[in-house]
Copies of this chain bind each other. A is one copy, B any other.
């Protein structure tokens, strides 16, 4: 093949990227210059010859996407920004300073960064979502370039991504794997033996190439082949960590630290440079159309018994009809979460992610980078599989809506492996999150619509079993609110609950009324943010508070309320009823009773508290 590239010119660009990686890490006194230098040749060719990106208009929807799955190579990425004229040298040297947007790992605080990376194994699965948006929804021409590390190929999530991209035929996706042989603490499992990975990626339906990642001609040819492959393309590029500087090149013990002698290294690399290149322009954006089926707002009759998971499915199908940006993902349990009801109405916007919860959440994060509003659902218990992805989504400032069904012991005979009992705690402990736990079907629909309108990470917890409808159809519920569903002029005690235990609380209140005890019942459907005023008011107006939740005692409704009370310093005693023993299989009623969170247990707790 005739070579059309100017090797000397490309080498100069690559050397600048190396020099700037050395310089920025030296200025910061920390960072990963050697992990940047290994991929400098790969990125020099990409930036100067293949990437199509208008750095002046990051909002241009026709721009390619560039995701650094190996986020620790941020010095390289920031050097590319400088080379593209997007930042100046002064800003480059602010790397890792307090207040600089050039953080240790990239975040979307930088306008050219789609998602935060730095937890390895996430950039590729997130890119699957970005590529799905282009391929399936927008029929767009943009490409998704992903720079991956070799160490992160040990993460199973990377192989979920390979499988899904292959299955979906994402020919707009190019994974560039910087196989620099050395991980943080020594050699990787496979070092430069790229054959095992290549065989696996090929088996997943990818075009695969194994190249010398410092051969500029080979890199150029590989990109050209990748773009012509007609399927997702992976380039396994053997490189040397710290390439270009003898003191660190391919040497162990040089991970994640500035070079000992940066001045000498810069000199060895040929000195500082300030080459500026014109990055290729994106193609003209084009429009696309989304089909929507007509679906009315679901409503349920008072007293009817409906599972909130069913209302999730109905409500989601309705949201899909009124908002074409709404998309849904499910982890092969759509007939349990009822996401299938969305799929039936809006098949083009439904993504079956199979039993790969990490890939499901990652795809949601990818989809929202393009303005889609993803609702991702599975059993609440299994969302715990993707916890790191949700954690990182918060750093990405992602607009991600999650739903976990089958929560708590009340699911019954399937047993503890299927019961979400830690979901409120874990998802409250996500930055900026909203945690909702509807108590009836009409409320679930209203809260779903609130989630649609809320930008950020929100979670809805739904119940497996049917519970009575207690709110009128169309009643509105705000994030951060609560409802007092039972009260009198002189309440003795306040019961605070949500979901299944709200109904147990109402039953308990009815029992207590027969004994002359007036119980206020608060539906704390918004666990985060919480309606502190209602809690403090109840603490002032009643003699004791009881929280009841189908969740572990830690981090759930009880502790949320405790936090409010302790900060207010009310002194009203609180009793927290929650699951405190390992549950087992059995009928829901038996399990609620065994956990001490059914109506009888609540009534008994009230008598003891008073």
Determine whether the beta carbon of A96 is less than 8 Å from that of B585: yes
The 7 listed contacts between A and B (C-beta, < 8 Å) are A99-B584, A100-B585, A154-B163, A185-B333, A197-B203, A430-B552, A555-B559
Decide if A428 is an interface residue (CB 8 Å cutoff).
Answer: yes
Query: Which B residues touch A553, using CB under 8 A?
Result: 563
Query: Which B residues touch A563, using CB under 8 A?
Result: 553, 558-559, 562, 576
In the docked arrangement, what's the CA distance between A416 and B104, Å?
Answer: 9
Query: Which B residues touch A156, using CB under 8 A?
Result: 155-160, 356, 358-359
- State which of B119, B429, B574 has its C-beta within 8 Å of the C-beta of A417: B119
- State which of B185, B415, B585 has its C-beta within 8 Å of the C-beta of A334: B185
Contacts A184-B336, A562-B563; A104 near B413 (Cβ below 8 A): yes
Query: Which B residues touch A542, using CB under 8 A?
Result: none
Stretch at the interface among A170-178, A223-231, A278-286, A391-399: A391-399
Q: Nearest 3 pairs between A and B by C-beta?
A: A156-B156, A571-B571, A118-B417
Contacts A188-B354, A429-B552; A418 near B105 (Cβ below 8 A): yes
Determine whether the beta carbon of B582 is less than 8 Å from that of A573: no
Query: Which B residues touch A413, using CB under 8 A?
Result: 28-31, 96, 104
Query: Which B residues touch A216, using CB under 8 A?
Result: none
Stretch at the interface among A305-313, A317-325, A378-386, A505-513: A378-386
Contacts A384-B387, A388-B384, A422-B430; A185 near B335 (Cβ below 8 A): yes
In the docked arrangement, what's the CA distance between A388 and B416, Å?
Answer: 12
Determine whether the beta carbon of A569 is less than 8 Å from that of B571: yes
- State which of B105, B157, B199, B554 has its C-beta within 8 Å of the C-beta of A415: B105
Separation in Å of the A47 CB from the closest CB of chain B?
Answer: 24
- State which of B384, B558, B571, B586 has its C-beta within 8 Å of the C-beta of A96: B586
Stretch at the interface among A239-247, A296-304, A587-595: A587-595
Give me 6 other A-B pairs in contact (C-beta within 8 A), A31-B413, A98-B584, A426-B426 excluded.
Answer: A99-B586, A103-B415, A104-B415, A107-B417, A392-B417, A565-B566
Separation in Å of the A136 CB from the closest CB of chain B?
Answer: 16
Query: Which B residues touch A574, using CB under 8 A?
Result: 566-567, 569
In the docked arrangement, what's the CA distance between A412 and B295, Å?
Answer: 50
- State which of B151, B394, B558 has its C-beta within 8 Å of the C-beta of A355: B151
Query: Which B residues touch A314, using CB under 8 A?
Result: none
Separation in Å of the A434 CB from the closest CB of chain B?
Answer: 12
Decide if A275 is an interface residue (CB 8 Å cutoff).
Answer: no
Determine whether the beta carbon of B554 is less than 8 Å from that of A562: no
- State which of B184, B431, B566, B587 has its C-beta within 8 Å of the C-beta of A98: B587
In the docked arrangement, what's the CA distance between A221 and B190, Å?
Answer: 32
Decide if A332 is an interface residue (CB 8 Å cutoff).
Answer: yes
8 Å CB contacts to B: which residues of A559-610? 559-563, 565-576, 582, 584-587, 590-591, 594
Separation in Å of the A185 CB from the closest CB of chain B?
Answer: 4
Query: Which B residues touch A197, using CB under 8 A?
Result: 203
Decide if A200 is an interface residue (CB 8 Å cutoff).
Answer: yes
Mask, A265-277, CB within 8 Å of B = 1, is 0000000000000
Decide if A180 is an interface residue (CB 8 Å cutoff).
Answer: no
Mask, A101-133, CB within 8 Å of B = 1, is 001110101000000111111000000000000
8 Å CB contacts to B: which residues of A358-382? 358-359, 381-382
Contacts A183-B355, A558-B563; A118 near B152 (Cβ below 8 A): no
In the docked arrangement, what's the CA distance between A96 and B416, Å?
Answer: 12
Decide if A135 is an interface residue (CB 8 Å cutoff).
Answer: no
- State which of B167, B387, B391, B560 has its C-beta within 8 Å of the C-beta of A189: B167
Decide if A349 is an interface residue (CB 8 Å cutoff).
Answer: no
Query: Which B residues touch A31, using CB under 8 A?
Result: 413
Decide if A534 is an interface residue (CB 8 Å cutoff).
Answer: no
Determine whether the beta carbon of B117 is less than 8 Å from that of A417: yes
Query: Which B residues touch A568, using CB under 8 A?
Result: 573
Query: Which B residues touch A118, using CB under 8 A?
Result: 414-418
Separation in Å of the A570 CB from the closest CB of chain B?
Answer: 6
In the docked arrangement, what's the CA distance between A492 and B188, Å?
Answer: 55
In the docked arrangement, what's the CA distance between A422 and B554, Å?
Answer: 13
Contacts A98-B594, A332-B185; A105 near B414 (Cβ below 8 A): yes
Query: Which B residues touch A571, using CB under 8 A?
Result: 569-571
Decide if A204 is an interface residue (CB 8 Å cutoff).
Answer: yes
Query: Which B residues touch A586, using CB under 8 A?
Result: 96-99
Determine whether the beta carbon of A569 is less than 8 Å from that of B573: yes
Separation in Å of the A504 CB from the closest CB of chain B?
Answer: 18
In the docked arrangement, what's the CA distance between A428 and B466, Å?
Answer: 30
Decide if A528 is an interface residue (CB 8 Å cutoff).
Answer: yes
In the docked arrangement, what's the CA distance between A569 and B546, Å?
Answer: 12
In the docked arrangement, what's the CA distance between A261 and B413, Å?
Answer: 21
- State which of B336, B562, B575 has its C-beta within 8 Å of the C-beta of A562: B562
Determine whether the beta carbon of B160 is less than 8 Å from that of A189: no
Decide if A41 is an interface residue (CB 8 Å cutoff).
Answer: no
Query: Which B residues touch A575, using CB under 8 A?
Result: 567
Decide if A9 is an interface residue (CB 8 Å cutoff).
Answer: no
Residue of B nearest to A391 (CB): B384
Decide if A86 is an interface residue (CB 8 Å cutoff).
Answer: no
- Of A358, A555, A576, which is in contact with the most chain B CB atoms at under 10 Å from its CB? A555
Query: Which B residues touch A160, using CB under 8 A?
Result: 154-156
